[in-house]
Amino acid sequence: MGRHHHPGQYSEAVASASGVLAYNQERAVKSMASGQLEIIEKWQEMANRLAEAAMPSLGLTSIPMAQALHATAQVEPSRDAVNMPTAELGWHDWWEKRAGLAARAFSVQDLANISLDRLARVNDVTMACVELLRESALDQARALDKRLASGLALGPVGGMPLAHKDLLHRTGYETGYGMAGPAAKASFDATVLRRFDEAGALHLARLHMTELAFDPSGTNEMAGHCRNPWSIDHIPGGSSSGSAAVVAAGAVDGALGSDTGGSIRIPAALCGVTGLKPTYGLVSRAGAMSLSATHDHLGPIARSARDCALMLQAIAGYDGADAGSVPAPENNHYVDGIDRSVAGLRIGVLQGGFADGVDSRIQAVMTQSLASLRSLGADIREVPEFPYDTLNEMAILMIRAEATSLYERLIRPGTDAVLGDFTRARLQEGTPIPASLYLQAMALRGPLLVQFVRTVMSDVDVLMAPVFPLPTPRVDAFDTMNAESRRLRGELTRLTRPFNYLGLPSLSLPGGTCVPDDETAALPVGFQLIGRPYSESLLLRLGHAFQKNTAWHLRMPALATL
């Protein structure tokens, strides 16, 4: 039976909607008067140039993004699983620890208690945690120990200590979205958490994130700043700040993050861990806070590429509850064959805009990493240029428009919402964007993806680029919204965001260190490998080969020994 409405309710709703529209129009005019009109005109000019190159025929429907992903897919054939060698340096990743668990050298409860204690100590220094889930985690651990005692084996991530970014809903627990103030309790589970539950993983904590996942620095002026475990005076990167920090500090073996413009890869690079942004639609976002539905990705952060493979194996797959979920061309086995040789793989090094403004210390890490890959038999090649700055701008306008459509009520006059200046400014920028410009930017994604793969990647298997072109900034560089903090935030996402627009998978790997200006301690530096759609198994295999040949992922910050 349908609902019955009082006649006055319709007029009230119309009046309310009209008021909101009038307010938005007024604010749009003010925004344009203060310079937003010039930005929109720039975006429109860029979109027109892209359209002329990628969609020359007027009136034709664009290639849908899902179809473009399938048309340009690169899927590795399934291979038999390979036993992995034991690392000789540093600490063990989960891949090795799970063998000890299967041999009953320790219990799941032992692992949970150790991780919970470390999370508490790490949080005291870094503010990486929002809430420890001690009671529920130990309940999970006891249930898994009973399973082991009964002679039943656990899966690849069974008993694995994990934590998750505070934008994933968990029944009965709060989800804060990185905002200050009280948070509502969730009444359902995010698909990725449910899939980890089914695989037997542990959930130990909710983790720090920037407000509404907007800030790539990892700073949060309203809820407090997260700190880099290698140096608490420096940023951890964001918005998945806590996820990278707790993995780097050895408190958990893996964490979930989200990536709308680089928010998995940036903190992974700055904290010296491994992070994967999967192909768009490969991992369900159902039950996760959205910033930009066309650009949001969920993915794993872990110590090693092979741990990321284990985590991805547990959570990847189509989900009808996520409107952006895309069925992969075929089931991918990210773990099988990860130890195969990478000799003969063709790696294209992105130049042009990706080389402009790269600090010499970062470039030295890139050169060193390329030499390591070349020693493994990889074929290093140059690749054609592409308008990456324009892709960046198209992504920015779409993210701004979609975020404002979701959170516009938080910036209305009279609201009691408490927002930081940076987040408020980003939401206000989305108000005057014309629908026609937004739809044009969205329609260009599929054709540009096809064009990118058929030109830039036509002669290579993988691309390589820096994640962040500068040494890690200090936290206090973001205390004030000024020209320098805006420049740094722009640099943080300049080399990562284009691949969110194109929906391509990208793996961030620790590749070295550098000493920032006026500092004495060396901080991690990362680089990214970018592949064709659904090439995660290839990226992870190449990342694992690199990590067998180097030890950057095995380095420990002093905080890990507390």
Query: How many other C-beta atoms lie within 10 A of the C-beta of residue 418?
Result: 13
- For the chain, the straight-line distance linking the first and the last C-alpha, in angstroms and rounded, comes to 62
State yes or no: is 263 an active-site residue. Answer: yes
DSSP state of 129: E
How many Å apart are CA 262 and CA 369, to the nearest integer?
Answer: 21
Q: In what order do the strands lie in the sheet with 462-466?
A: 129-132, 202-207, 161-165, 254-259, 297-302, 274-277, 506-514, 523-531, 462-466, 346-349, 379-382
Strand positions, DSSP E, 125-225: 129-132, 161-165, 202-207
Element (H, E) at 434: none
Catalytic residue among 97, 115, 165, 217: 165
Pairing between β-strand 462-466 and β-strand 523-531 as defined by DSSP bridges: antiparallel
Pairing between β-strand 346-349 and β-strand 379-382 as defined by DSSP bridges: parallel
Burial 98-136 (b: 16+ CB within 10 A, else e): beebeeeeebbbebbbebbebbeebbeebbbbbebbbee
Say if residue 239 is preceded by a cis peptide, omega within 30 of 0.
Answer: yes
Pairing between β-strand 346-349 and β-strand 297-302 as defined by DSSP bridges: unpaired
Residue type, 480: T
How many Å apart are CA 10 and CA 16, to the nearest integer?
Answer: 10
**103 with 153: CB under 8 angstroms?**
no
State yes or no: is 231 an active-site residue. Answer: no
Catalytic residue among 240, 241, 263, 508: 263
Strand positions, DSSP E, 133-273: 161-165, 202-207, 254-259
- C-alpha separations of 556 from 117, 126, 274, 303 in Å: 18, 15, 14, 10
**232: nearest Cα among 527, 472, 480, 555:** 472
How many Å apart are CA 245 and CA 166, to the nearest integer?
Answer: 14
Q: What angle do helix axes 536-549 and 360-375 make, rounded to 10 degrees?
A: 100
**527 with 290: CB under 8 angstroms?**
no
Structure tokens at 503: 């929906």
**207: nearest Cα among 167, 166, 171, 237:** 166
**473: nearest Cα among 242, 231, 303:** 231
Q: 391: number of CA atoms within 13 Å, CB side?
A: 28
Catalytic residue among 31, 217, 231, 239: 239
**531 with 539: CB under 8 angstroms?**
yes
State yes or no: is 150 an active-site residue. Answer: no
**412 with 20: CB under 8 angstroms?**
yes
Residues involved in catalysis: 165, 239, 263
